[in-house]
Structure 1
Amino acid sequence: MLKQNELIAKVKQLVELDEQISACMMYGSFTKGEGDQYSDIEFYVFLKDDTVSAFDSAKWLYEVAPYSLLYQNEYGTEVVIFENLIRGEFHFLSEREMNIIPSFKETGFFPDTKSMFIYDETGQLEQYLSGLGGSGPKKLTEENVNFLLNNFSNLWLMGINVLKRGEYARSLELLSQFQKNILQLIRIVEENADNWLNMTKNLEKEISPESYEKFRRTTARLEKSELHEAYKNSLLFIIELYKHLERRYQLTVSHDFFEKLLHYMNE
């Protein structure tokens, strides 16, 4: 049995026994049939409203399993690294905050909402989860395409300017930012946007080998020549994607504009 499955079983046992907890749901790889020995475990735990202030999450997580690290990240999530080096993410919310669940629909595709159900004494959780089923959010939209092309252009130009100035570390940072735009545009062209927000997830399986190779050419180490090549390849790839996109969408940025950027790069 995977170590993760042992931890998931322990979480299920604890939430069923703990009178402070009214409901619990799981999300992530193990609810999508993708969990393996490298996967995290991820939960929302809903506490009875009158127990929230007294609930000791650090103590409760140690009952799941001893851990080596526990902290609250920038999103307010309890991140735990158990002693067996399995990562966990736990959101501890009040029962009245269970109505946050419908907003998850905009974050991606949930193929099996029943697998997300862990425990519920309120009678609400199953209904909320069922609303997440069906197709994912509409991402293959004209609005998204135009935003991504515009945002890429802005970040690319900023990056090429600091690269010309000799700020290589900053240009590398900007490269990593507009690479996300490239990946989302690939997913739009190839009509595969299930992993829209986590756009690198399963990338090796979810985009064509040709696109993967072209994306690889947009990567670079902190070296001037490599950065220059990555910026050039990024722009050339965008120009190629543009030709596919203009057949299906009304675009607000012109092909000539990208050719102008290419000329500017070579000045």
Structure 2
Amino acid sequence: MLFQQELINRVTKNCNKDLYIVSAMMYGSFTTGEGDIYSDVEFYIFIKDSFFKEFDSNEWISNLCATDLIYFNEYGTQVAIFGNLIRGEFHFLPQSRMNVIKEFKPTGVFPNAEKMFIYDSTNQLYALLDYLSGEGPDRKTNENVNSSFNGFVNYWIFGVNVLKRGEYARSLEILSHVQKQVLQAIRIKDDSVEHWLNSTKNLESDLKKSSYESYKSITANLEQTNLAKAYYNALVLMEKLYFNVSSSYEIDVSRKLLAKMYTHINE
């Protein structure tokens, strides 16, 4: 049995016997059948309101198994690094905030309630998890297409300008934002939008081979020539994608603007 599955079993057991905990659910790879030996484990655990302030989440996680680090990341998620370097993400919330589960609906496609269910003493959790089931949001929309193209123009110009200034490290950082916008446009073209928000997830298997090779051409290191080539290739690729999707969507970006961008990078 994978360590992650053993950990899920321990979380389930500990939730069932902890009088402070009223409900718990999991999300992520092990609910969608994608979990493997490298996958994280992720949980939402709800605590009785009257005990929430005194609940020691660090101690609770530590009692699951050996940890090397527990901390809160920049999103407020409690992250545990277990002794074998597997990651766990934990969200501990008061019972009165259980309806937050409904807010997950716009973020993607969720499995059935049974696969996400860990424990419940409130008779509320199944209904909330059932609300998440079914088809996810429509990603192939005019709004998303324009978000991708408009975001691309913004980050591309930003990145090229700092590249010209000689700030190679900053330009490389901005390139990652350019890549995300390109990937989302590729995913719309390839009809592979399941991992829309986390656009690089399963990229090697999600994209057509030709699309993956195109993506490789917009990666770079800190060398000025490689950065310039990546930005140029990104513009070429996005222009091709423009022609691929422009017959189906109304795109704000004009061909005239794309032509200006070619002139700008070649100056």
TM normalised by structure 2 equals 0.98
Counterparts of 1:141-180 in structure 2, within 5 Å, are 141-180=141-180
What code does the residue aligned with 1:105 have? K
Q: Secondary structure at the match of 1:75?
A: coil
Q: CA deviation at 1:186?
A: 0.8
Superposed displacement of residue 164, structure 1: 1.2
**Cα deviation, residue 256, structure 1:** 2.4
The count of corresponding residues between Structure 1 and Structure 2 is: 267
Maintained 8 Å contact 2:112/2:129: no
Q: Within the alignment, does 1:85 sit opposite 2:88 as a pair?
A: no
Over 3 Å counting, the alpha-carbon distance change for 1:184 and 1:113 in structure 2 is farther
Q: Do the aligned residues in 1 keep the contact of 2:22 with 2:122 (CA within 8 Å)?
A: yes
Paired letter, 2:14 = L
Structure 2: any 5+ residue segments left out of the alignment? none
8 Å contact kept, 1:32–1:112: no
Tell me the residue number matched to 2:212. 212
Which residue matches 2:44?
44
1:129 matches 2:110:
no
Give distance in 2, aligned partners of 1:187 and 1:136.
15
2:112–2:130 contact (8 Å) kept in structure 1 = no
Tell me which residue corresponds to 1:114. Answer: 114
Q: Aligned with 1:218: secondary structure?
A: coil
2:67 equivalent to 1:60: no
Contact 1:116 1:129 in 2 (8 A): yes
**CA offset at residue 226 of structure 1?**
0.3
SS in 2 for 1:210: helix
Distance 1:28 1:211 in 2: 26
Give the C-alpha shift of residue 188 in structure 1.
1.2
Between the aligned partners of 1:75 and 1:173, the Cα distance in structure 2 is 20
Q: Distance in 2 between matches of 1:82 and 1:155?
A: 37
Tell me how far 1:81 sits from its aligned partner: 0.6
Q: Which residue of 2 aligns with 1:246?
A: 246
Q: CA deviation at 1:264?
A: 1.7
Which amino acid in structure 2 is aligned with residue 240 of structure 1?
K
Compute the displacement of 1:31 (Å): 0.1
Does the 8 A contact of 1:109 with 1:195 survive in 2?
Answer: no
Say which is worse superposed, 223-232 or 149-158, in terms of deviation: 149-158
Aligned residues of 2:47 and 2:95 also touching (Cα < 8 A): yes
After superposition, the C-alpha distances for 1:177-224 in whole angstroms (9 at most, x for unaligned) are 111111111111122211111111111111111111001000000000
2:233 is aligned with 1:233: yes
Partner Cα distance (1:180, 1:116) in 2: 29
Identity between Structure 1 and Structure 2 (%)? 51
Are the aligned partners of 1:67 and 1:83 in contact in 2 as well (CA < 8 Å)? Answer: yes
Name 1:200's counterpart in structure 2. Answer: 200
Check whether the contact 1:151–1:181 (CA below 8 A) recurs between aligned residues: yes
Amino acid at match of 2:256: D
Deviates more, 1:231-240 or 1:180-189: 180-189
Tell me by how many angstroms 1:250 deviates: 1.1
Return the offset for 1:111.
3.0
Q: Aligned letter for 1:147?
A: S
Aligned to 2:34: 34
Mark the runs of 5 or more structure 1 residues left unpaired by the alignment: none
What's the CA shift for 1:112? 3.2
User: Counterparts of 1:166 and 1:86 in 2: how far apart (Å)?
Assistant: 39
> What letter corresponds to residue 140 of structure 1 in structure 2?
K
For 1:25, give the aligned amino acid.
M
What are the superposed Cα offsets for residues 110-143 of structure 1, whole Å, 9 maximum, x if unpaired? Answer: 1333200010010010000011111111221111
Q: Deviations over 1:198-255 (max 9, x none)?
A: 1111111111111110010000000001001100100000000000110101111112
SS at match of 2:89: strand
Q: Distance in 2 between matches of 1:265 and 1:222?
A: 17
Greater displacement, 150-159 / 34-43: 150-159
Q: Distance in 2 between matches of 1:107 and 1:113?
A: 16
Give every structure 1 segment of 4 or more consecutive aligned residues whose post-TM-superposition deviation is greater than 4 Å: none
